[in-house]
Each structure stands twice: as C-alpha cells, then as structure tokens.
Chain A
Amino acid sequence: MIQLCNVGKIYANGAPALHDINLKIPSGDFVYVTGSSGAGKSTLLRLLYCAEKPSRGQILMGGRNTTRLNSRNIALLRRDIGFVFQDFKLLNNRSVFENVALPLQVQAVSKQEIGTRVYQVLQYVGLEYKLQRKPLELSGGEQQRVAIARAMVVNPRLLLADEPTGNLDHDLAVEIMEMFNRINESGTTVLIATHDQEMLQRFPRRSIVLHDGNIVADSNPPAPEPAQEIC
C-alpha cells in the first residue's frame, strides 16, 4: 500500500510543483498518473522513489515513512522498486546482459543466480537472443524492453514508469503496455505517468489526473456491462 498524506512540493527556486496531495494506492493496483506537461506527474514519481523529499506531508510505502529514510535506507527501499523511463536510462557501454544484471550485482547475488535470472527475464521480454548486444545496437522498443527486464529482474513490489511509451511508435507502445499489464497480473503494483490518451483508452485503468500540482480527478474505468442473455 502506498499512501500520500497532504504532500506538497516546492522546489528550491520557489516553483510549486505539488499541492496537498492525498492518495492511496493498494498493493497490486495499476494506476495511471496523467495530465499535461508540468502538471506534476514526474515530481510525484520522484517523490515516490525518494529522489526528492516533499516540502510537507508524509509518504508511506509498505507502512514505512519514506520521508525520514537516510540515504542507505533509501537505497534499500529502491531495491523493491523497478524503474522504466522514457529515455530508457541504460548504460550504453555495457551489454544487454550486463545492464539487466546490474540490480542483482548491487544486491550481491551470486554469479550463477545472476546468469539464470537475467536469462529468464530476457526470455520474458523476448530479448534472450540479443543479450550480448549494446543498447545502441537495438531499436527503441527493444531498449525499452531491456529497461523493463532490468526493472523486473529483482521481482519488484512496485514498478514506476515515467512516460514509458513517449519515445516509441504506436505498435511498440502497445507491445510495452501489454507487457506492463502482464507484470501487473503477476502481482506487482504498477504506476505509470503518461499523457498518452490513446493508451489510456486502449488499456483503461484507474487514472489520477493532475493539473498545476493538484489532483483534479481520480477515476476507475467503468465496469464492463454484463452481457445480456438473449431469450
């Protein structure tokens, strides 16, 4: 469960980014954070993975107040979170295998287990045959799948994605969204910041709409109408 209580964020230059945000995201949920550019979507995500501290309010994740964590505990918290970004954030001088193995190396997982888990997750995203390639030798969609594999290799409880389809064409975006759905079905909480309305309509889920740092809507998709029996 993620809970935000009266969270506000004002940047050091005085620019307000979020106002009085109250939010509850149950475990296993799939949530979109949407809104126009500058609405505060990325700031909300940055607060969730502790890249920023809120100017006021509390953020609870799994019962822990993340605003009071020191840098070591923040690092430990992030081991339970997977990240996917619009610009992939891959290390271009390392192979696909090395990029995906990185979170496991950080957690001092044994070499044998790293090999097994990285191969499995690359199979999951369909890139097991490109594990020796460097990211820049791959297409945008493939790079994003590597980023997803890196996020998934640690079996995170939460997956945060910031505009994950922003750099991809329509077909690749659909492919990536389908992958997020499958990840969510396996029990991972997924939170995606996006302004891609087409994806929101194609994969309808709970949507939190931000505008000028305020939540202006928080809605679930309409339940599918029950099929009428024809007598």
Chain B
Amino acid sequence: MERLRYFFQRTMFSMRQNPLLCSATIGTVAIALMLLAFFTLIVLNIQNLAREWSRDIQVVVYLDQVPSEQKLQEWMDEIHQYPDIEQINYVSQQQAFDRFHARLGQNSDLLEGLMPEILPASLEISLTESARSRTGTERLIELLKSNSDFHNFRYGQEWLDRYDAFIFLLKLTGTMAGGFLIFATLFIISNTIKLTIYARRDELEIMGLIGATPMFIKTPFMAEGALQGAIGAAIALGGCHILYYFFLKNGLAALLTTATVENIQFLPIEYQGGIILLGLFLGLIGSLLPLRKFVRI
C-alpha cells in the first residue's frame, strides 16, 4: 500500500514538476493519435459505405414458367437450406413489369400495349455479409445448378470483381497505413519520453545507488508514460471530434458522393476506447524502451 501510494505520488509529482516536458509528451501523443483516429474514421466510413453497396450483391434466378404456390414454397425451402442465405425474394411478372416501368420514368409510355408476361418471374437471393463476394456468389450458383429448374442466372460478375478488388485494396491500405502510423506514433512517443528521462537521468542514477530495484525505478516513469499516453489519446479524440463535426462530416459526404451527411458516422464507442487504450499502451511501451537503456544497475 505504501509502495502504491509512493508510485502514485511520484507520478503526479513528476508531471507537476516538469510541466513543459509533460505537455510536450501529451501534445506529441495527441497529434500522432489524432492522425491515426482521423485515418481510422475515414477508413471506417468507407467500409460502412462499401457494406451498403454490398447489399446490392444478389443472385437473380430467372424462372422459365410462373411457379405454382406449392412449387415456389418448395424452392424457397430448398434454397433456405443453403449456407449464407440472408433473404429470398420472389418477383412476379407483374412486379418486374412495374419496376421496369418505374425505371423508364418519362419513357415509360414505350411500354404501352405490352403485357407483364414479356418479363420473366424471378427469385432474388441475398447473401449474408460475410459471403458477399465473387467466391460466395459462385458457390451459391453451383448449389442452385443442382436443381434442373434453375439455369438462368444473373449476378453482376464485373461489378463483383470490382467490389472484391476495392475491399482488398481498402483492407491492405488500412492495415499498412494503420501499422505505419502506429509505429511512427510509437517512435515519436518513445523519443519524446526519452528526452524526459534523459533530463532526469541523475534521479535514475541516485535511485539505483540507494538500492531501488530496476522495477521500482521504472514503475513511476512507466505510469507517467501510460497516463500521458491516455491523456494524449483523449485530447486526440476530442480534436478528431471537432474536425469531424465542422469539416469531415460534410467533406466526406461530398467525397463519397452516394452517402448522405447522416450516413457519415464518428468512431463507435469501442473504437474510442481502443484509441485511449492504444495511447496508454504506446505511452507505456514508449517509456519502457528508453528506460531499458537508462536504468542499468
């Protein structure tokens, strides 16, 4: 208990004693993590948008004849047995005709005199989110082909290829840039904390001389680093929120043309918690690295 109180007092005392260095560390963490939070915010919104787009991924099975209600129910039951099926929607000839009519808009009068029977009825099959890819779609078609009643499919192959490539690129960019930003942040934080520790190397030496164990010497510095990291991360989130509210929300909506301002979201609470934890962790590791060099008993 005495020891815990000592560590807590030392951490607070040290931050009060060196306000300039303390502010520099917190400021560095805040700027570095704000970049990271900002980047995460953009990637997350693009991912959300991509998820919206992926709702359009569906397999359409055109039916040669209008099925009886019993037959339709049999097919529906059969398809529901397949893996990764989210929804099956039967589109009758009349519904298909109405849709086509609506799509033609001002030119809908071209359809005058034509009957709904010119268009086939169809089954629109949606996949669960994890299966919305070329592989998932092709797997479903293979299963559908096992039924001889189904032989005419449409699933927008080119669009799927482009979607897959986009998601791959987004994940790759996100991982690489995120990883790079985390390492850069760690490097910056570590160097800033190194300055703090260098300024207090006499204290480290004296602590070693009077019989303090390496852990006893390091703990207040690590606690200080972690606390500064967490405070910096909180400031970064605050700054990011301001940027989001005043600039990013409208900017992103304009950039991702299909999204409305309401669709652009701030980081979810678990991401905010993650960034605070990341700040804490980076502060801890950032102080541990230079301490290994300076605390030698």
Chain A residues closer than 8 Å to B2, beta-carbon distance: 105, 108-111
Q: Which of A93, A109, A111, A150 contacts B210 (CB 8 A)?
A: A150
Decide: A107 near B211, CB < 8 A? Known: A71-B297, A93-B17: yes
B202–A75 touching, CB < 8 Å? no
Q: Which residue of A lies closest to B296 (CB)?
A: A71
Asked if B136 is an interface residue, CB under 8 A from chain A, the answer is no
Q: Determine whether the beta carbon of B208 is less than 8 Å from that of A75.
A: yes
| B213 close to chain A: CB less than 8 A | yes
- Beta-carbon contact of A72 and B212 below 8 Å: no
Residue contact B213 to A75, C-beta cutoff 8 Å: yes
Bound CA span A89–B2, Å: 25
With a cutoff of 8 Å between Cβ atoms, the chain B residues found around residue A89 in the complex are: 202, 205-206, 209
Q: Given A89-B205, A93-B17, is A72 in contact with B210 using a C-beta cutoff of 8 Å? A: no
Q: Which of under 10, 10 to 19, 20 to 34, or 35 or more describes the interface residues of B?
A: 10 to 19
* Residues in B neighbouring A230, C-beta threshold 8 A: none
Q: A106-B216, A108-B2, A111-B2 are in contact. Are A78 and B202 (CB under 8 A)?
A: no
Docked-complex contact A79 and B211, CB < 8 angstroms: yes
Give residues of chain B (1-56) contacting chain A, Cβ–Cβ below 8 Å: 2-3, 6, 17
Q: Are A78 and B214 in contact, CB atoms less than 8 angstroms apart?
A: no
Most buried by A among B207, B296, B297: B297
In the bound complex, do residue A106 and residue B211 qualify as a contact, i.e. CB atoms below 8 Å apart?
A: yes
Asked whether, in the complex, the Cβ of A103 is within 8 Å of the Cβ of B210, the reply is: yes
Residues of A within 8 A of B211 (CB): 75-79, 81, 103, 106-107, 154
Are A91 and B206 in contact, with the CB atoms below 8 A?
Answer: yes
For the complex, give the distance between the alpha carbons of A219 and B3 in Å. 46
The digit string for B207-233, where 1 denotes a CB below 8 A from any CB of A, is 111111110100000000000000000
Q: Which residues of B contact A106 (CB under 8 A)?
A: 207, 210-212, 216
Is B86 engaged at the interface, CB distance under 8 Å to the other chain?
no
Q: Which residues of B contact A108 (CB under 8 A)?
A: 2-3
Residues of A49-101 at the interface with B, using a CB-CB cut-off of 8 Å, are 49-50, 71-72, 74-79, 81, 83, 89-91, 93
A77 to chain B, nearest CB (A): 8
| Chain B min CB distance to A147 (Å) | 10
A105–B203 Cα distance when bound, in Å, is 14
Find out whether the CB atom of A102 lies under 8 angstroms from the CB atom of B297: no
Q: How far is the CA of A76 from the CA of B211 in the complex (A)?
A: 6
**Interface residues in B246-297 (C-beta closer than 8 Å to A):** 296-297
Question: How many angstroms between the C-alpha atoms of A140 and B118 in the bound complex?
Answer: 106
Most central of A50, A89, A109, A150 by chain B CB within 10 Å: A89
Roughly how many angstroms separate A129 CA and B57 CA in the complex, as a whole number?
83
Tell me the complex Cα distance, A91–B209, Å: 13
| Chain B contacts to A: CB under 8 angstroms | 2-3, 6, 17, 202-203, 205-214, 216, 296-297
Question: Could you pull out 10 A-B pairs where Cβ atoms are within 8 angstroms?
Answer: A72-B214, A74-B297, A75-B208, A75-B212, A75-B297, A83-B210, A90-B206, A91-B203, A103-B211, A108-B2
